[in-house]
Structure 1
Amino acid sequence: MTTIALPSGTVYVKYSVITHLFARAMCSPAPHGDPRSAYATAYGAVDRKLARAVELGDLRARDPLTLAPHSYPVGDALREAVILVNDLREYSARHGLPEIEPDAGSHCRGN
Structure 2
Amino acid sequence: MAFDLETCRSKDELESVARQMFNVELDKRKKLDDLKDEVRLLMNGDDLLEKPEEPEEPEEPTTSSKAGKKPLQFVLNKNTNSVFIYNPKLKKRMGVDLEFCDQQGNRL
TM-score (norm 2): 0.25
Is the radius of gyration larger for structure 1 or structure 2? 2
Whichever structure has more helix as a proportion of its residues is 1
